[in-house]
Amino acid sequence: MVPCESEVCALWRGLSGTDWLDRAMGHEPLQVEAASTPGSAARCLVKTHLGGFEVAWNERPCEFEVARSLRVRRDLVFGPARPLDVEYTTEVRGGAARRGCG
């Protein structure tokens, strides 16, 4: 857990904008094409470089609850890991509200 002073809705806009977040972290551009894995929930095949490794993964649909959590499962086709789950969860501190985050 990383405690942040920012308001939850402001954090959510950055975390849920995954393309923006990838660029902000310095990741290389993504090459995206339709997934062709039979029987998989994956909607696209993504290729890029992460941490110096050439990687490709089948990306499943995101699971999210607005301003609370975002989870993405990436089934790597090639690269140093299989699978790769990315999850962000926010928690309101001090009785603040989650209004206007949609």
Question: Is 2 part of any domain?
Answer: no
| Structural domain for 46, as ranges | 8-89
**CA dist list (Å): 16 to 22, 34, 60, 65, 90:** 11, 21, 15, 10, 11
pTM: 0.71
Q: List alpha helices for the chain, DSSP H.
A: 8-16, 18-24
Q: How do the pLDDT tens digits run along the chain, 102 residues long? A: 677 777 888 888 888 887 888 888 888 889 999 888 788 888 899 999 888 889 999 988 889 898 889 898 888 898 888 888 889 888 877 666 666 676
* CA 50 – CA 80 distance, rounded (Å): 10
Question: Is 99 part of any domain?
Answer: no
Q: How many domains does the chain have?
A: 1
Question: Is 97 part of any domain?
Answer: no
* pLDDT value at residue 95: 62
* pLDDT value at residue 47: 94
Q: How big is the chain, counted in residues?
A: 102
**CA dist list (Å): 58 to 25, 62, 75:** 21, 12, 5
